[in-house]
Structure 1
């Protein structure tokens, strides 16, 4: 057991005004070596320099968090399950390239199409809203160019188109029934 620290002392061993725990002043040390070959130093951002001439004015290009492909976009792909007694809401948020985003969107939208209609509030409100939000993500994915080569083979396979999947086709039956009931209510 160590003795208690005195008031005003540093319990971690560093002396103020010196380097980390060495006791020698910072000015007496030899300068640090230059950058390593192939790794140039980047300019340090300054609070005094703001505006378009700042060194970090241009945003860096996003990379897909699943495969590392670039370019990618930030998006949230939703999945809704309407069960008889309760509902489940799921969201996969992140940076995805065109290929991985398409694969995730097809999977979660197909699941939403056949699992989302089985609660009254889900059928009338939450499932259609989830499908509309996923449709908006689809338009964002379509604007992305292809991600380029996949050297590590970690990219998701897009699979079948949405309406060639059996779950999505089965999900159109409850959707048609809900549309029919709403049309009957409106018609009188």
Structure 2
């Protein structure tokens, strides 16, 4: 879900400011708690679900750079216009 949030969560004004950053921080905190747990023990007769690719190895995660670069450009323009 973090990859989906990085890919789709930035495209509204409200989500750019409020929703997405809070969702990403919440996911990060939950991930840190999960990393502290003991490794899973396989249950006899059940197949373990594969974890999948890490987030930074999934191309949609890099789409998040577009709104971040846009926000940096807007902030730079506001700061230089104020001078």
Which of 165, 179, 182 is the aligned partner of 2:58? 165
Gap change, CA 1:182 and 1:127, over 3 Å in 2: farther
Gaps of 5+ in 1: 1-107
C-alpha separation in 1, matches of 2:24 and 2:72: 15
* 2:56 aligned with 1:135: no
SS at match of 1:147: coil
CA RMSD of aligned residues (A): 1.7
Shift of 1:131: 0.6
Whether the aligned pair in 2 keeps the contact of 1:110 and 1:162 (CA below 8 Å) is: yes
TM-score normalized by structure 2?
Answer: 0.80
Offset of residue 124 of structure 1: 1.5
Tell me which of the two structures has the higher relative contact order, counting C-alpha pairs closer than 8 angstroms and 6 or more residues apart: 2
1:114–1:172 CA contact under 8 A, matched in 2: no
Q: Distance in 1 between matches of 2:36 and 2:57?
A: 23
Q: Extract unaligned runs of 5+ from structure 2.
A: none
Task: Give distance in 1, aligned partners of 2:68 and 2:51.
Answer: 24
Q: Which residue of 1 aligns with 2:71?
A: 178
Superposed, which structure 2 residues align to 1:29-178 within 5 Å? 108-151=1-44, 152-153=46-47, 155-178=48-71
Which whole-Å CA distance do the structure 2 matches of 1:140 and 1:118 have between them? 29
Q: TM-score scaled to structure 1, two decimals?
A: 0.38
Separation of aligned partners in 1, 2:36 and 2:11: 33
Equivalent residue pairs, number: 79
- Rounded to whole Å, the distance in 2 between the matches of 1:129 and 1:118 is 15
Greater helix content: 2
